Amino acid sequence: MADTLVERVTGSPAEVASPVAVHLVMADRTAFAGDPEPATVTGYGPIPAEIARRMVAAAVTDRRSAATLRRLYRRGGALIAMESRARRFPKVLAAFIATRDHTCRTPYCDAPIRHIDHAHPHHDGGPTSAVNGQGMCECCNYAKEASGWQVSTTVESGSHTTEFVTPTGAHYRSTAPPPPGAPQLTVATIGTRVRVDVDAMRCPAA
């Protein structure tokens, strides 16, 4: 019965493997150097580093799978953006936004992403870009289209930030979670000059 269901749904014989994409995001140190930093499965959340490495090893050694490695570059604590002039988000850009956002960007919602949405509507001049794009669940995406909602996006301190204004005037902010791996730190050297008044430090004569 299960085989029949698979054949009816996919249109392929049950003995033929159906392609399933699992987006596993992890730092290079986690993948190759045994670092304990957790990985992230897009649409699910963080998973232990050891389990992520086992998933990678299983996919690489299984001849039936077609595992691919895609590098994501970041500047500071944010993933580097891509842009497109198309109305619909291209698959690669949509996958990038879903990987960056993990779950619905509405601050009080953590549902899985179902739509890649233009924060500033495309019909009103909003670009199809990583900055203007955000992952949304179906319910929240339809809700924000109602009259009175205002949504804007910015990149602040290297992080993608979305601000929601509801019809009642309430303001909410949502920041994309940081990618796995320790953020890069910039160490600044501060020079100081100390002047010591020797005469003032002398003990009075007995």
What is the structure's pLDDT at 24? Answer: 87
Question: Are the beta carbons of 27 and 37 closer than 8 angstroms?
Answer: yes
Two tokens at 196? 């010591």
Q: Over the stretch 69-91, which tens digit does the pLDDT of each residue have?
A: 777 766 666 665 555 556 688 88
Query: What value does the mean pLDDT take over residues 194-198?
Result: 50
Place of tokens 């956002």: 101
Q: Which of 52, 46, 60 is nearest to 29 (CA)?
A: 52
Question: DSSP alpha helices (H): ranges in the chain?
Answer: 2-10, 28-32, 49-61, 91-101, 138-143, 198-201
**Average pLDDT score, the chain:** 80
Q: Does 46 have pLDDT greater than 70?
A: yes
What is the structure's pLDDT at 86? Answer: 60
Q: Does 192 have pLDDT greater than 50?
A: no
What is the structure's pLDDT at 7? Answer: 81
Q: Is the pTM above the cut of 0.75?
A: no
Q: Rounded to the nearest 5°, which phi and psi values hold at 143?
A: -65, -40
Q: Does 18 have pLDDT greater than 90?
A: no
Give 198's pLDDT tier (boundaries 50, 70, 90): very low
Distances 17 to 30, 39, 64, 160, 201 between C-alpha atoms, Å: 29, 26, 8, 37, 84
43 vs 25: CA distance, rounded Å? 11
Range 64-73 contact pairs with CB under 8 angstroms and sequence separation of 24 or more: 64/17, 66/19, 72/25, 72/96, 72/99, 72/179
- What are the sequence ranges of the domains in the chain? 2-61, 80-175
What is the structure's pLDDT at 203? Answer: 52
**Whole-number percent of the chain with pLDDT over 70:** 78
Q: Over the stretch 109-159, which tens digit does the pLDDT of each residue have?
A: 989 999 999 999 888 888 888 899 999 999 999 998 888 999 999 987 778
